[in-house]
């Protein structure tokens, strides 16, 4: 295993310190925790948005803390849910009277621990609600989840719910916007090379030189099947076809597209994939309103990508276009 680290036990701590030293104008750290929060005083009269999960998905989630997106992100150990007390500290550090919305990816540990934190905050009379993102069309249930997994579509929830909260909407309204995004977002990914978790020291799975894994999860979980590597266009056709088979995207619809790198894929290859995504959607007479291409929710050094579609209406378009300024997402 080759990793640019100082030691296995302090990776997350050093990563968070490095992030804060790089972006002090955006983020700070709650003392004694692995919680990243927006820099400066609490913004009065605002619902706060809190997300997080295991580390190794950078820039998610700390990279999306800032104006127009998250107020706090909680980092667990690599591919391990943060503990309830850490999430609770994030709530206490940011909530300012209008309540907190927890944005949770659908993994068993994340759901359980974030819900426990919400109960802890409720005991202190802090209003907390939650949404659970389950956008992965690849598998219905897995070792990690009951129901579909939450993957890169979560970023659209951060952006759009974050814009609604920045407008000053109340907790029920912000949750309703987040749930609208969740109902209309779908994703699917693949890998051509596995990732290596530092504490394990070896690849999370093995692929032959000419094999790819279709439907992979963001922790190296198995996908739907393995197959011989084909062209980028054929791979896009398979992933996008599964997304379109959901039946919620049709002729005349407007969508936002995300082509998300898994951490080890050159930007050149992501743009090649997006070229085919755009062409297929044009053939289907589905209008692309906005496209994001890059690393948004990764899986350490995994090589591969995912495709996400979000069906838009006028409200979602306006919130998607609203200003945001974070270490990993800037739209001014």
Measured torsion, CA atoms of residues 191, 145, 291, 242, in degrees rounded to the nearest 10: 70
What tokens does 125 get? 């009379």
| 23, 61, 158, 219: the active-site residue | 219
Question: Choosing from 23, 57, 61, 158, which is the catalytic residue?
Answer: 57
DSSP secondary structure code for residue 156 in this structure: H
Strands 72-78 and 48-55: parallel
3-state class (DSSP) for residue 210: coil
Concerning whether 23 is annotated as a catalytic residue, the answer is no
Residue 7 burial by Cβ neighbours in a 10 Å radius (0-12, 13-18, 19+): exposed
> Is 249 in contact with 311 (CB distance < 8 Å)?
yes
Contacts of 69 (CB under 8 A, 6+ apart): 49, 158, 159, 162, 324, 326, 329
Quick check: is 57 catalytic? yes
Taken in order 71, 76, 77, 83, the sign of the CA dihedral is: positive
Element at 94 (helix H, strand E)? helix 84-94
Q: Looking at the DSSP assignment, which residues form a beta bridge with residue 291?
A: 257
Q: Are 294 and 261 in contact (CB under 8 A)?
A: yes
Identify how many contiguous H helices and E strands the chain contains and give both numbers: 8, 14
Taking the alpha carbons of 58, 304, 131, 64 in that order, is the dihedral positive or negative?
A: positive
Q: Residues with catalytic annotation?
A: 57, 219
């Amino acid at each position: 295993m080759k990793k640019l680290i100082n030691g296995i036990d302090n990776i997350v701590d050093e990563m968070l310190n490095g992030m804060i030293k790089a972006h002090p104008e955006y983020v700070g750290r709650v003392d004694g925790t692995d919680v990243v929060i927006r820099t400066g005083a609490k913004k009065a009269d605002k619902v706060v948005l809190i997300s997080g999960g295991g580390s190794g998905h950078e820039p998610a989630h700390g990279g999306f803390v800032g104006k127009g997106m998250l107020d706090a992100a909680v980092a667990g150990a690599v591919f391990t849910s943060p503990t309830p007390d850490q999430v609770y500290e994030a709530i206490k550090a940011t909530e300012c009277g209008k309540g907190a919305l927890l944005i949770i990816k659908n993994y068993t540990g994340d759901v359980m621990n974030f819900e426990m934190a919400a109960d802890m905050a409720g005991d202190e009379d802090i209003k907390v609600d939650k949404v659970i993102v389950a956008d992965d069309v690849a598998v219905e249930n897995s070792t990690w989840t009951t129901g579909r997994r939450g993957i890169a579509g979560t970023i659209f929830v951060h952006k759009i719910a974050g814009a609604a909260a920045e407008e000053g909407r109340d907790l029920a309204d912000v949750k309703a916007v987040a749930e609208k995004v969740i109902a209309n977002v779908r994703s699917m990914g693949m890998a051509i090379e596995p990732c290596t978790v530092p504490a394990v020291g070896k690849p999370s799975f093995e692929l032959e030189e000419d094999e790819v894994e279709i439907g992979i999860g963001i922790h190296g979980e198995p996908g739907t099947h393995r197959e011989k590597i084909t062209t980028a266009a054929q791979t896009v056709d398979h992933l996008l076809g599964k997304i379109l088979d959901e039946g919620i995207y049709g002729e005349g619809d407007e969508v936002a597209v995300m082509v998300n790198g898994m951490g080890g894929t050159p930007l050149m290859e992501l743009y090649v994939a997006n070229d085919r995504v755009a062409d297929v959607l044009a053939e289907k007479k589905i209008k692309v309103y906005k496209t994001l291409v890059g690393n948004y929710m990764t899986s350490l050094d995994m090589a591969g990508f995912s495709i996400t579609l979000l069906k838009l209406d006028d409200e979602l378009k306006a919130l998607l276009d609203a200003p945001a300024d974070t270490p990993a997402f800037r739209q001014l």
